[in-house]
Amino acid sequence: MDTAIEVSGLVVRRGRRTVLDGLSCAVPRGSVTGLLGPSGSGKTTLMRTVVGVQLVAAGTVTVLGVPAGSPALRSRIGYLTQAPSVYADLTVRENARYFASLYRLGRDAADHAVETVGLTGAAGQLVADLSGGQRSRASLACAIVSRPELLVLDEPTVGQDPVLRDELWAHLRRMAADGATVLVSSHVMDEANRCDRLLLIREGALIADDTPAGVKRAAGSDDLDQAFLNLIRSRDAGRTGVRAAHPAGCGPDGGAS
Ligand SMILES: Nc1ncnc2c1ncn2[C@@H]1O[C@H](COP(=O)(O)OP(=O)(O)OP(=O)(O)O)[C@@H](O)[C@H]1O
């Protein structure tokens, strides 16, 4: 597998908590990989290590062939955080053009990014006057303006209506088809179904790394929501020693029970 992200034995502590506890996984190049897990399970923390802004206690994270955080990666990664990272006192267009200029790109690149996120009609509006969903899309425009090789998106579709979500996903799929790698966190199972691969995190540990079809097969459910619940319950039962009715392939020892 040609990997874009290789994580090995990653341990991250935040405050007194061990948030990621020896996590290992790989993200194939040119894929859309979904990062899923309950709130507080460590998704944002993993994304922060990938983009190189998180202190790491142990383990290695290799991104596009070099250690995460290497200066050479700055122009190759686009990162969308949960908090909008655009200037409120600039218009959408001005923000996109400013970020484009940081990459020595012209107005065309900026205007194309604004169009991609469906904000052309609001391009002349101050970010301060936008709705929450529009603000998040303005941030996304700035994250994709340089057409990065790796796009790391922390819940990009929160607050977006179904039509926009559909369009954004179509765009992510097009970027991957053009060779970009997309790592995207989400709580929405309909979106998880649109990923090539899924990483499911629970309390800082990886409990699934597979295609959506593979996750469903292993958990014995055609419904991804239910499949994740099965995997989580199976794991919890395994840890407490409770004998639960494990779905095929999901026993505490990793085998069918
Ligand atoms: N700055 C911080 N200091 C201490 N602990 C933190 C800090 N930021 C996050 N945490 C803790 O780290 C854990 C993982 O947080 P993280 O934001 O990675 O979770 P998440 O899976 O992205 O959650 P969500 O889906 O709610 O965004 C949580 O228990 C959180 O309380």
231 and 150 in a single domain? The answer is no
Whether 14 maps to a domain, the answer reads: yes
Whether 254 maps to a domain, the answer reads: no
pTM, two decimal places: 0.88
103 and 183 in a single domain? The answer is yes
ipTM of the complex: 0.96
Cα-to-centroid distance, 104 and ligand 1 (Å): 34
237 and 114 in a single domain? The answer is no
Q: How far apart are CA 144 and CA 179, in angstroms?
A: 14
Q: How far apart are CA 109 and CA 66, in angstroms?
A: 27
Best probe residue, ligand 1, of 12, 17, 80 (max atoms within 8 Å of C-beta): 17
Domain extent at residue 28: 3-210
**Residue 88 contacts by C-beta under 8 Å, 6 or more apart in sequence?**
126, 127, 128
54 and 161 in a single domain? The answer is yes
pLDDT tens, the chain, 257 aa long: 699 999 999 999 999 999 999 999 999 999 999 999 888 999 999 999 999 999 999 999 999 999 999 999 988 999 999 887 899 999 999 999 999 999 999 999 999 999 988 899 999 999 999 988 888 889 999 999 999 999 999 998 887 888 888 888 888 898 899 899 999 998 887 889 999 999 999 888 999 999 999 999 999 999 998 998 898 888 877 766 554 444 443 333 333 32
244 and 183 in a single domain? The answer is no
182 and 124 in a single domain? The answer is yes
* Selection from 129, 188, 196 nearest residue 160 by Cα: 188
Q: How far apart are CA 70 and CA 57, in angstroms?
A: 17
Best probe residue, ligand 1, of 16, 23, 35, 41 (max atoms within 8 Å of C-beta): 41
CA-nearest residue for atom 29, ligand 1, is 40
Total structural domains within the chain? 2
Whether 257 maps to a domain, the answer reads: no
Rg (CA), the chain: 19
Ligand 1 pocket by C-beta < 6 Å: which residues? 14-15, 17, 19, 37, 39-45
242 and 170 in a single domain? The answer is no
* Selection from 183, 209, 187, 199 nearest residue 48 by Cα: 183
Q: Are the beta carbons of 193 and 224 closer than 8 angstroms? A: yes
156 and 226 in a single domain? The answer is no
